[in-house]
Structure 1
């Protein structure tokens, strides 16, 4: 399976040149096995059938629920995407059969997790369906389960490894795909029952805690309030209750330009002939986030807007003030959407304009100048003639067109008189959020404590194993230090730093050239294999200092060929080595290292170099290593320090210092 993996990666973000919106959930669903063998017409028909089945399954919930910004919806990619080779424009998915969507949740994080719960529900109801979900933070599901994730999983290794399948989270391990898998290979692995890709139980529990009770409990996030609004606003809300989201968005995101529309109120406060309209009381259902955005902002009613006197009671004043904000939001949203639809200055126009700037169309032109305006007008004309503009205009004008259709129907204030309105919901939750915040903080604190407890338990288990092994022998084995250090330097680490293996018995194969490492170490300690007399130290069995180290013969050959010094006089080198050894013997450097016992050389012939080498016996690297560790450990006087930390990480437990002060 791993051999089919591709090293190519696909960015989870649909915007290659700009950061995706911070308030949008992106998702994609894939039918498994992928119907890639179907011709494009049949494939598109299969996707339409799947889209109908999924929409029908979610219809009972979506028909009654109100989202803060956008509703959860799945769309079919354009037919030409099936035969395309570039990633999908919305979800950046490679050209594999899928449905996708984007849910703007604004300030309501509950909607983001509601969308996630719907993906879990769909994959549970349709076993042959896999899904992905991400936002501007990337794989945010992994962030939620951060304390339960394996150490290898990070933002660099996560692409094309995290999926929702059969109502559970699946993570493709590196043992299956050492490199980043291609999307089709990853989906094939998820669909293969013989391959275990299910995420650990701790990860599943962390995600399920966040979506527990959803989508059934989503109604608890809604709030119903009585309001006094102009009758056109009441008519629109009666026919299309979901448009309250657009009205609140228009009010909350207002600026100086849009507030000019609210000051005139030409659409919702004036009749067809310019006459005033009646005010009616109605009931509005919205999300709690919408209600908070309306109530918690001070906003002066426009001049001419009919507001009751405060003497009429606080309840009526609050209903009128809340209705005024909704009416102004409708006016600002309607007028701004209509203007953008007429001028074509929607979000896609901004993307198109920035692409022109990036390609240098306006280089050297002063904004506002005659030439700048001419180039801008030409670009606008080209944009309006493109299909991109027509699609954008249709989207922007959708609420405008629907509002015009509703207000074109006959209506009057009598429709809203005498109808029994439900009372406003209690909004104490808006002011008593401390308890909810404290509960959330306690849950997070408990999660961190459980993580630390498990971490300490694993640490104590390692100590117990180390203690039991040391108790079986009456004396401390100094060889553990050298063995642990050798295994440590053999461990191949990543660019993020060296890591000590948790279990030294399960070490990976050697990837480090240990011979070159010890050669460099011994050269620093003052020993060279090529020194005369040192050959005797390699005859018998000794410590690691007696390892037969290979010299850089290849390097020497290359260097000799390049420099032309391959035929250097050997006698000169021997004389030079004798002189160097004699010079070093008069210094104190050799006395700072412990040396291995000098083997018997009585059978060797006399030589000037042998006399000198009698004093320059090989350095015992293991003995010096152990001695340095013990001296450092002893100097800590029982306190934490580098020696005890490093030895502890390698699983070596040093007994207390037996020396008395």
Structure 2
């Protein structure tokens, strides 16, 4: 979406902000950019971003030949916490409500992810191949440009799409069910901000405690740095001094807290700590992550290889407009480029370390340190939240998945789960056709939807004829079997019976083997895995096969 956007495999949200007023005045857009960022800062008060903060900016390159009208851009990597993505949707909906002239386009690595959420209510024409430049947020509504307004024959440009949205706001408005589904997925913000916070008491060195007190959001890069460390990062950190410490409340998101709690504790001769002391362990991990973060950051970001590459890219794209290096105009453009790089393009470690350095250079930092010392290294006046939510029972997980994706149970409540029923259901399931959208049940649904005309008299006649045929066949078969048995000796009859029993035992043994293999697989894979997922597709829960001892 951005001209200089770094290629990344991480999950990222991209947004473009256009104006229905077709305003190309640069002053208008600079003012709008400042106002939007101030609004975003207010709306996101207390929110801890997992990686990148969501903010808008003017594109650094103004290409006159660009097919896009004047606009603002935003590119935010949310990494492992998908909640950031939906919080961004909430922010955009609020911006659309406040600034009625804004027309906003938003996608992620998967495309129009909002439509994926509302897939059950989409019109038939909408799919990933047909919705390019047809999905927008305008006046706090989800808007879809149908092929009735713009044919699929030619690719729809953004300029034409904006014109259609302004001209036909009612015709492009999506069904209420689509918007309601998206609003439901967003949740109850801004109240949800507090719900996602986990307060924890940890023991930290005084300086780190003061930094996090003044800038709580810095906990995110510290935690992700620790959780993603390698052996080189560990070796780069020297001795950690935990003598000058204080107890302090640290705010995590639930995602960050779970990540840090379940990350392995780094053990070495230099750093010895008891894994049983939760507050000490978390404090050690935070301290280690902080040290790694500061070690890997470039001392001068504008001498880093990332900035040099960025600057060369600008030169190749004509950003400096042939101005002589160090001239007044050149220096102005260079300063503007530096600000853009620091806010939008530089590595996270570099951005954070510069923020930390700026915080430590303030008088407020010194006052905060003195205030923390007054706690006298005790935690009696501090509060923390319960973390029982970290433990979840399989049944709770099933309920959550059923609420989210629906319950597709194919067994009746009075069905007995046996090896034979499982193999039969699995065989039927595997016979169904499937593609990237899942198992195709269309044929089954079509059959269920058809009306059946039932003639009772004809049905009785057919039954009588069938019974007559069966009676004749049974009589004939009985005579044949009797003649056959008369011609056999007792030894031959015993052998025949033994072969039939052996065949039955083999079939029954196969079913038991299937049951045994499934239960063994479920035991080894833990809470969830391929075997339990396959069984759930035919309506069998793990608890139907395993008893309490197995669990």
Kindly tell me the number of residue pairs found equivalent between the two proteins.
394
CA distance in 2 between partners of 1:258 and 1:433 (Å): 36
Aligned counterpart in structure 2 of residue 404 of structure 1, from 345, 348, 357:
357
**Pair 1:65 & 2:40 matched:** no
**Pair 1:414 & 2:394 matched:** no
Listed one character per residue, the Cα deviations across residues 209-257 of structure 1 (whole Å, up to 9, x for unaligned) are: 2113134323211111110111111111112111111111211221222
CA distance in 1 between partners of 2:96 and 2:342 (Å): 34
Conserved 8 A contact 2:2-2:59? no
- 1:448 CA drift (Å): 8.0
Conserved 8 A contact 2:40-2:55? no
Listed one character per residue, the Cα deviations across residues 601-647 of structure 1 (whole Å, up to 9, x for unaligned) are: xxxxxxxxxxxxxxxxxxxxxxxxxxxxxxxxxxxxxxxxxxxxxxx
Listed one character per residue, the Cα deviations across residues 9-66 of structure 1 (whole Å, up to 9, x for unaligned) are: xxxx558999653321111222222213xxxxxx221112222332343333322221
CA distance in 2 between partners of 1:122 and 1:386 (Å): 29
Match of 1:431 in 2: 391
Matches within 5 A, 1:154-165: 154-165=127-138
Change (3 A) 1:183 1:350: closer
SS of the residue corresponding to residue 150 of structure 2 reads: coil
CA distance in 2 between partners of 1:297 and 1:170 (Å): 43
Conserved 8 A contact 2:68-2:159? no
**Pair 1:115 & 2:68 matched:** no
SS of the residue corresponding to residue 200 of structure 2 reads: strand
Match of 1:501 in 2: none
**Pair 1:191 & 2:144 matched:** no
Matches within 5 A, 1:110-149: 110-149=83-122
**Pair 1:31 & 2:19 matched:** yes
SS of the residue corresponding to residue 107 of structure 1 reads: coil
Matches within 5 A, 1:256-655: 256-262=231-237, 264-265=238-239, 269=240, 277-305=243-271, 307=273, 314=276, 317-338=277-298, 341=301, 344-346=304-306, 349=309, 392=341, 395-396=346-347, 397-408=350-361, 410=366, 411-412=369-370, 414-417=373-376, 421-432=381-392, 434=394, 437-446=397-406
**Pair 1:84 & 2:64 matched:** yes
- 1:132 CA drift (Å): 1.4
Match of 1:517 in 2: none
SS of the residue corresponding to residue 87 of structure 2 reads: helix
Change (3 A) 1:388 1:50: closer
Change (3 A) 1:54 1:97: same
Conserved 8 A contact 1:301-1:324? no
Change (3 A) 1:63 1:213: closer
Conserved 8 A contact 2:2-2:73? no
CA distance in 2 between partners of 1:242 and 1:302 (Å): 29
> Higher relative contact order by CA 8 Å / sep ≥ 6: 1 or 2?
2
CA distance in 2 between partners of 1:125 and 1:386 (Å): 32
Match of 1:22 in 2: 10
Listed one character per residue, the Cα deviations across residues 420-468 of structure 1 (whole Å, up to 9, x for unaligned) are: 643221111111274663334213443989x99x98999699957x99x
- 1:303 CA drift (Å): 4.0
Listed one character per residue, the Cα deviations across residues 477-499 of structure 1 (whole Å, up to 9, x for unaligned) are: xxxxxxxxxxxxxxxxxxxxxxx
- 1:123 CA drift (Å): 1.0
Q: CA RMSD in A?
A: 3.8
Match of 2:57 in 1: 75
Listed one character per residue, the Cα deviations across residues 502-526 of structure 1 (whole Å, up to 9, x for unaligned) are: xxxxxxxxxxxxxxxxxxxxxxxxx
| TM-score (norm. length: structure 2) | 0.63
Listed one character per residue, the Cα deviations across residues 381-416 of structure 1 (whole Å, up to 9, x for unaligned) are: xxxx99978864784543223322333454456254
CA distance in 2 between partners of 1:221 and 1:210 (Å): 15
- 1:350 CA drift (Å): 9.4
Match of 1:48 in 2: 30
Match of 1:512 in 2: none
Conserved 8 A contact 1:170-1:199? yes
- 1:347 CA drift (Å): 8.4
SS of the residue corresponding to residue 282 of structure 1 reads: strand
**Pair 1:171 & 2:151 matched:** no
Listed one character per residue, the Cα deviations across residues 326-352 of structure 1 (whole Å, up to 9, x for unaligned) are: 111111111111368376134884998
Match of 1:232 in 2: 207
CA distance in 2 between partners of 1:456 and 1:215 (Å): 45
Unaligned runs of 5+ in 1: 1-12, 37-42, 87-93, 271-275, 357-384, 468-661
Conserved 8 A contact 1:118-1:215? no
CA distance in 2 between partners of 1:67 and 1:119 (Å): 16
CA distance in 2 between partners of 1:238 and 1:57 (Å): 24
Unaligned runs of 5+ in 2: 317-333, 410-436, 454-551
| TM-score (norm. length: structure 1) | 0.53
Conserved 8 A contact 2:222-2:286? yes
Conserved 8 A contact 1:14-1:20? no
SS of the residue corresponding to residue 338 of structure 1 reads: coil
SS of the residue corresponding to residue 95 of structure 1 reads: coil
- 1:163 CA drift (Å): 0.5
Conserved 8 A contact 2:58-2:72? yes
CA distance in 2 between partners of 1:66 and 1:113 (Å): 14
Structure with the greater alpha carbon radius of gyration:
1
CA distance in 1 between partners of 2:194 and 2:53 (Å): 14
**Pair 1:96 & 2:69 matched:** yes
Change (3 A) 1:23 1:61: same
Deviates more, 1:439-448 or 1:185-194: 439-448
Match of 1:219 in 2: 194
- 1:305 CA drift (Å): 4.0
Match of 2:331 in 1: none
